[in-house]
Structure 1
Amino acid sequence: MERSPGVFAPQWRLTSIGIAVAISLFAFEGIAVATAMPAVVRDLDGLAFFGWPYSAFLVMNLVGLGVAGQWCDRVGQRTPLLTGIGVFTLGLLTAGSAGHMAVFVLGRGAQGIGVGLASVAVFQLVATAYPAHLRPKALAIISAAYVLPALIGPVVSGTITAHLGWRWVFLGLVPLVLAGGLTLLPVLRTSTAPGRTSAGGSRKPLFALLAGIGVVVLQSGGNAVVAGRTTLAVLLLGAGLLALVAGLRELLPQGSTRLRRGVPSVVAVRGLLAGSFYAVESVVPLTLVTLHGFGTAASGLPLLAGALGWWAGAQAQGRITTVARPLLLRWGLAALACCFVGMAALCLPGAPGWPVYLLWIVGGLGMGVCVPTTGVLVLDQSAEDETGTNSSALQISDVTAAGLGTSGAGVLVGATAAGNLAFGAGMAVLGLLAMAVCAAAAVGASRTAPAEECAAVG
């Protein structure tokens, strides 16, 4: 039997390389900024505003995702993608040349918008540039593109910061980002606009901004709870929840919260698995240091193991053609649930810490299977003039849930620091909650196929 060409066959090679380069650089910047931030706040006298660059990126990333969806459906991916790359580059230049913390925050916000625009456009590019049977492998490229930055990002950015200065963590990426954009120009020249003419797209950025502000306000409310400022906490939590719900009602497909069959369930499941995974991941190093006495390097190695597991899972799902996608999604969620239960067990008195390396490989494997699979399910069920809108909703669900998950984990850590809860008990509760969220996602996985396919999935 003749082997079908893969995603690096001559007709798709430049497109695949361009996607890999662009996503890798976006991911590297997200990782590198954490390493550079101590030097940034020292030089710009911005310690009091340490969290603002992260919040600005999150909020404006949601705005970019909100803008990109219907824009891509109206005009195709060329203009949004090139605009996203241009705005991201402008953000790099602004942050790298900042003389004041406010300017640095502005640069991070521009980077967030650029990544949001480009991410949706790249997703739509997968739908239009590759045939359906290659989409799982094309989406595996996107997942794998996050692995290399996770492996080398902290070391490279730390070395650059130490020897060249933190500004080059941003400025040094500019030529690489532009080169990655150039490799995508050939396929973008041949792209056509789906021609969607539906109204309402101008409201999306406002609701995305509202949702992003809701996430930040909810985090502030959680911190107020830990600080014992009850009245302020109630006000912030109420306002944040209202803003978040109001924003997401406009941004996500109707029926997402009810797990309506098809794309709404896929979007909901993506949010559930992202929120649970990133919440637990954010406390893995701290748990190993606090409970098991690991050193700084050893406590960070599980994240490396998870990145490798993610890569393996992404590659595996791209090669599995005999299993229905919703069933594959359940397998990935089962791996995540096992990981989270194991993490909770490691928080028990007397439990060893070394199994975390194996557990986090399993967790990464689950994410590597689930994330591209949700992408394939959305693309397969989207009309040509809906791929941008549905891709935007999928990524908004991911980003919002990840922000909520990490914020929630941070509040829980704050509660343990305040003496309201033992650290081991708090982290065990977090692991069990994440497992419960995965169980809810598994229920949703059975509804991610359209009605006509549900019999085959079940």
Structure 2
Amino acid sequence: MATTRTNVEGEPRLLSRQYAATTVGMFALCAFVAFEATAVTTVMPTVAAALHGFQLFSLAFAAPLASGVVGMVAAGGWSDSRGPVVPLALALVLFASGLVGCGLAPTMPALVAARVVQGLGGGALTVCLYVLVGQLYPPGLRPAIFSSFAAAWVLPTLFGPAVAAYVAQIAGWRWVFLGVVVLVALAAVLITPSLRGLDAPAYGAPAPRSRLGWAAVSAAAVLAVQLLGSKRAGLALLTVPAAVVALVALRPLVPPGTLTARRGLPAVIATRALLSGGFFCGETYIIFVLERRWGLAAGVAGLALTGVGLSWSAASWAQARLSRTLSDTGAMRGGAVLVAVGLLGLTASVREHPPAVVAAAAYVVAGAGMGLAYPRTSVAMLGASGDANRGFNSAALSIADSLGGATTIAASGVAFAIAGRAGGDAFAAALAVGCCAGGLALVTAVRSGPHG
């Protein structure tokens, strides 16, 4: 059985000598994955123009999301049967190879193919890091390390677009991809000593190969949802059967009872999916609606995302500080309330048209809810996992995250199109889908405690 390290010299800290290099390395790897998932939005129009590939623009974003599901499942099963070290190394190679492929891509189809490889590595990398947290950090430090992971995802949202634009202007868009490769290698060096100190895990039963098949089906369905969700008329309606296929394929990839939010771990994973669905549905439209309804410039409207990043980080820091007094279920329940209230406030603002700051503030509240609840879904998942299923459960949480966001955003796109054709309020209709996800997240969060 793999050992879980503890600090015998008093209260452990993330940046104590025992954990500092590993913490910094893990934080950096999360930040680089997040940077490539978000900041490239800034340079992708330039990339598409340079490679004459605007027809593949949306596919460049959907491809790594879909392939990431396969990477998550593969890494989860491999980590359970052989430990996380080898799959982590392979994930780093795939992620870096994808970045190199993007940076050197001569055509847009080549870039999309490289994004598929990048997504495989990024999805696997996320799962491996979750597994390593369970092996390397004592339970008392897990809320703090997941808080740092949350910050690693938020920071690229705040600064990534500006950094990417600056790099593209000074050195060219290719270095937005190529420049990260060296940084990934440096982060890998930081965590290598802690990997060498791990005990060899007891070999578990190999994961059924059918899981990879279901992951591929799920990835294809997610890709269809992503592509069809932005279409109009009949094509948009095809997102419904695509979403159904995604749910059917999801069932073997998550713990039994997840789709019905069975009490305990299944409800935790369902809560993660619904929180992501509601929140990222709001993120999809917040800038768009501030520009169209309130007439704000893009730079001014973007301040809403800055406020969200700050509120997410502050709430994430607070939940880590309250780890001894605030239960995982309490954090998830409170966070779900804030997400639901924030989305309802944003939707009401769209309909009633108060000052723009009211709409932005509502979404900032939702960001605080994510900061409070999101890290605790990871903590609760690890608390309910052992060496035999930590990889599978980590993959399930990451898959639920991706699919929850993708399907909710696609459903909101359908609502947007239908309401627009019917002469209704398209923005309110789209955001109402996010409100539904936020409300359901509160229901599942209440059930996230252990059986009994």
> TM-score w.r.t. structure 1 length?
0.92
- Cα deviation 1:153-184 (Å, max 9, x = unaligned): 01010111122111010011111010011101
Structure 1 residue 309 and structure 2 residue 316: aligned? no
Equivalent pairs counted in the alignment come to 443
Match of 1:164 in 2: 171
The AA in structure 2 aligned to 1:442 is L
Match of 1:280 among 254, 268, 282: 282
- The aligned runs of 1:330-341 (5 Å cut-off) are 330-341=333-344
**Aligned partner (choices 157, 163, 166) of residue 150 of structure 1:** 157
One-letter amino acid of the counterpart of residue 447, structure 2:
R
Q: Is the 8 A contact 1:215 1:244 kept in 2?
A: yes
Counterpart of 2:17 in 1: which secondary structure? Answer: coil
Which moved further from structure 2: 147-156 or 442-451? 442-451
SS at match of 2:306: helix
C-alpha distance after superposition, 1:4-60 (max 9, x if no partner): 131111100011000111001111111221111111111111011111111211111
Shift of 1:219: 4.2
1:54 partner amino acid: F
Q: 1:239 offset after TM fit, Å?
A: 4.7
* Pair 1:193–1:397, CA change in 2 (3 A): farther
Distance 1:111 1:136, change over 3 A: same
State the match for 2:272 in structure 1. Answer: 270
Distance 1:295 1:3, change over 3 A: farther
Q: Which stretch has the larger CA shift, 93-102 or 348-357?
A: 348-357
Amino acid at match of 2:448: T
Percent identity of paired positions between Structure 1 and Structure 2: 32
Conservation of the 8 A alpha-carbon contact between 2:215 and 2:253:
yes
* Structure 2 residue identity aligned to 1:114: G
- The corresponding residue for 1:456 is none
Query: Cα offset for 1:88?
Result: 0.5
Unaligned runs of 5+ in 1: 453-458
Q: Aligned partners of 2:57, 2:415: CA distance in 1, in Å?
A: 20
**Structure 1 equivalent of residue 3 of structure 2:** none
Look up the SS of the partner of 2:106 in the other structure: coil
Q: Which residue of 2 aligns with 1:378?
A: 381
Task: Determine the C-alpha separation between the residues in 1 that align with 2:58 and 2:112.
Answer: 10
Aligned twin of 1:187: 194
Q: Answer yes or no: is the 8 Å Cα contact 1:89–1:174 preserved in 2.
A: yes
Contact 2:408 2:437 in 1 (8 A): no
Question: What residue is the counterpart of 1:176 in the other structure?
Answer: 183
Distance 1:176 1:222 in 2: 35
| Residue in structure 2 matching 1:294, options 293, 296, 314 | 296
Over the residues paired in the alignment, what is the CA RMSD in angstroms? 1.8
* Counterpart-to-counterpart distance in 2, 1:450 and 1:196: 28
Counterpart residue identity of residue 4, structure 1: E
Partner of 1:455: none
Q: Secondary structure at the match of 2:351?
A: coil
2:72 aligned with 1:65, yes or no?
Answer: yes
Which deviates more from structure 2 when the two are superposed, residues 111-120 or residues 206-215? 206-215
Read off the aligned partner of 2:182 and give its amino acid letter: P
Contact 1:217 1:239 in 2 (8 A): no
* Structure 1 Cα separation of the partners of residues 201 and 388 of structure 2: 5
Q: Distance in 2 between matches of 1:257 and 1:142?
A: 26
Task: Write the mapping of 1:385-404 to structure 2, written as runs, cut at 5 A.
Answer: 385-404=388-407
Distance 2:200 2:63 in 1: 31
**What's the CA shift for 1:360?**
2.6
Residue 114 (structure 1) shift: 0.6
Structure 1 CA distance for aligned equivalents of residues 359 and 171 of structure 2: 35
- Tell me the secondary structure at the aligned position of residue 282 of structure 1: helix
How far apart are the structure 1 equivalents of 2:255 and 2:334? Answer: 25
CA distance, structure 2, for counterparts of residue 361 and residue 43 of structure 1: 36
Matches within 5 A, 1:237-248: 237=239, 239-248=241-250
Residue aligning to 1:429:
429
Conserved 8 A contact 1:73-1:195:
no
State the partner residue of 2:6: none
* 4+ long deviations beyond 6 Å: none
| Secondary structure of 1:385's aligned partner | coil
SS in 1 for 2:357: coil
Q: Deviations over 1:335-370 (max 9, x none)?
A: 111101110121124422112332232111110111
Task: Give the alignment's TM-score, normalised by structure 2.
Answer: 0.93
Q: Which whole-Å CA distance do the structure 1 matches of 2:195 and 2:292 have between them?
A: 50
State the match for 2:4 in structure 1. Answer: none
1:344 correspondence with 2:347: yes
Q: How far off is 1:237 after superposition?
A: 4.1
Residue 253 of structure 1, CA deviation? 1.0
User: Aligned partners of 1:349 and 1:5: how far apart in 2?
Assistant: 50
The alpha-carbon deviation at position 427 of structure 1 amounts to: 2.3
* Alpha-carbon contact 1:219-1:408 (below 8 Å) kept: no
Tell me the CA shift for residue 430 of structure 1.
Answer: 3.5
101 and 432 in structure 1: CA distance in 2 versus 1, 3 angstrom threshold? closer
Structure 2's unaligned 5+ residue stretches are 1-8
Match of 2:40 among 29, 33, 44: 33
Q: Does 2:134 align with 1:127?
A: yes
Q: Which amino acid aligns with 1:176?
A: L
**CA-to-aligned-CA distance 1:369-412 (integer Å, 9 cap, x gap):** 11111011110111122111001001100011111122233334
The answer as to whether partners of 1:262 and 1:448 remain within 8 angstroms in 2 is: yes
Task: Give the match for residue 117 of structure 1.
Answer: 124
Q: 1:407 aligns with which of 406, 410, 430?
A: 410
CA distance in 2, matches of 1:171, 1:393: 30
Residue in structure 1 matching 2:54, options 47, 51, 72: 47
1-structure distance, mates of 2:431, 2:120: 32
How far has the Cα of 1:200 moved from its partner?
A: 3.9
